[in-house]
Amino acid sequence: MSKASKDQRIKLYKDHNVQLLVSKFVSGELSKLNPVYDDKYGYRYPVVDAIVGDPSSTDELLRSLFEAGVLKRELYDKIVYCPSCNTANVSMHYCCPHCKSFDIRKSALIEHIQCGYIDTEEKFRKDDKLVCPRCRKELTKPGVDYHKAGVWCTCNECGKSFDIPVPAHFCRDCHRNFSFEESLYRDVYSYSLTPEAMKEATLGWILITPIREFLESRGFEVESPGFLKGKSGASHMFDITASPTGVERNITVIDLATSTDDIASEQPVIAMFAKIYDVSPERACLIAIPRMSENGKKLAALYKIQLVEAKDQKEVIKEFEKVCMTE
């Protein structure tokens, strides 16, 4: 996943609604977010509607979470909306391909296996029995005497017959007839948390929150994520920025390098160096979870980035205090 989408995710995690939704996945309360059918609006996501308060913003939130790689999606259904009034309260019509009437009669085609005669079921019907109109034998055993050979439709309007009807729609609300071409035909998804977001949420929130609280208890003003403007004029984002309350400069920047493997690569060291080169903070700390690669350690030393390695919440404060809070 690209760096850009990671930055996007970190911004989204700041949003209280996003935190509420993601925490439902992290806690296991939600493993998959499935849409629930609603006659009028089509599919809804009541869990998300309840979080955002305004159901009209639900789709946009889900889309931005999908685009940033917080959620992954899976096609759940397709839905037809009326192009005039936008309702999902739409019925399906199968129409005559000749005159477009939906007043058609659908029958089953039956083949009498012994003599090979094929006709519609009505032609075989004699009271409650099936009798072959050609050879007059009675058909009793499906699959042995006879089998279904498809469907056959007859139009009550123009009298013509055909095997494949043309689909069309009827809006039950505004009563408009419309074709598939005119319809609004949309994807409906179910959503779940991506592995990246699951990791970022568990590690990020579990680790950033205690560091933040620790710094605040030491009299720092903390922003998470924090944005600082560099000499180049560009604005850079750090997982945490902190400065002693009431002091103009003396800035500490902190980034988190998490890894799904055992060892974090040097990539976050390089990325952090590019930012601190521009911003020139007084102190830069990189917290590697659980460990930093040898290359990363050498680079961090060269770039004067203080490196903290911690495998969990308990260790992170202890190590952070030892490495970053001593002059």
Contacting residues toward Zn ion, per CB under 5 A: 82, 84-85, 96, 98-99, 101, 112, 115, 117, 132, 134-135, 155, 157-158, 171, 173-174
Q: Is 15 or 157 the residue whose CB approaches Zn ion more closely?
A: 157
Q: Is 32 or 172 the residue whose CB approaches Zn ion more closely?
A: 172
CB of 21 to Zn ion, least distance (A): 32
Q: Is 82 or 288 the residue whose CB approaches Zn ion more closely?
A: 82
Cα–Cα dist 297/270, whole Å: 11
Half-sphere exposure of 102 (CA within 13 A, CB side): 11
Q: Is 88 or 288 the residue whose CB approaches Zn ion more closely?
A: 88
CB of 109 to Zn ion, least distance (A): 14
Question: Quick check: helix, strand or coil at residue 142?
Answer: strand
Q: Which residues of 198-214 are buried (b: 16+ CB within 10 A; e: fewer)?
A: eebbebbeebbeebbeb
Q: Is 172 or 298 the residue whose CB approaches Zn ion more closely?
A: 172
Cα–Cα dist 225/240, whole Å: 5
Cα–Cα dist 83/22, whole Å: 34
Q: Is 72 or 98 the residue whose CB approaches Zn ion more closely?
A: 98
CB of 132 to Zn ion, least distance (A): 3
Positive or negative, the CA dihedral 93, 95, 100, 103 is: negative
CB of 122 to Zn ion, least distance (A): 16
Q: Which residues of 95-133 are buried (b: 16+ CB within 10 A; e: fewer)?
A: bbeeeeebebeeeebbbbeeeebebbeebbeeeeebebe
Q: Is 157 or 315 the residue whose CB approaches Zn ion more closely?
A: 157
C-alpha distances in angstroms, 251 versus 110, 114, 228, 281, 324? 84, 92, 10, 5, 12
Q: Is 71 or 96 the residue whose CB approaches Zn ion more closely?
A: 96
CB of 115 to Zn ion, least distance (A): 3
Nearest residue to 264 via CA among 309, 317, 303:
309
CB of 104 to Zn ion, least distance (A): 7
Nearest residue to 27 via CA among 194, 260, 202:
202
CB of 97 to Zn ion, least distance (A): 8
Sequence-separated (6 or more) residues with CB below 8 Å from residue 279? 228, 229, 230, 231, 236, 251, 253
Q: By the 8 A CB rule, do 71 and 192 touch? A: yes
Q: Is 85 or 247 the residue whose CB approaches Zn ion more closely?
A: 85
CB of 167 to Zn ion, least distance (A): 15
Cα–Cα dist 64/47, whole Å: 17
CB of 116 to Zn ion, least distance (A): 7
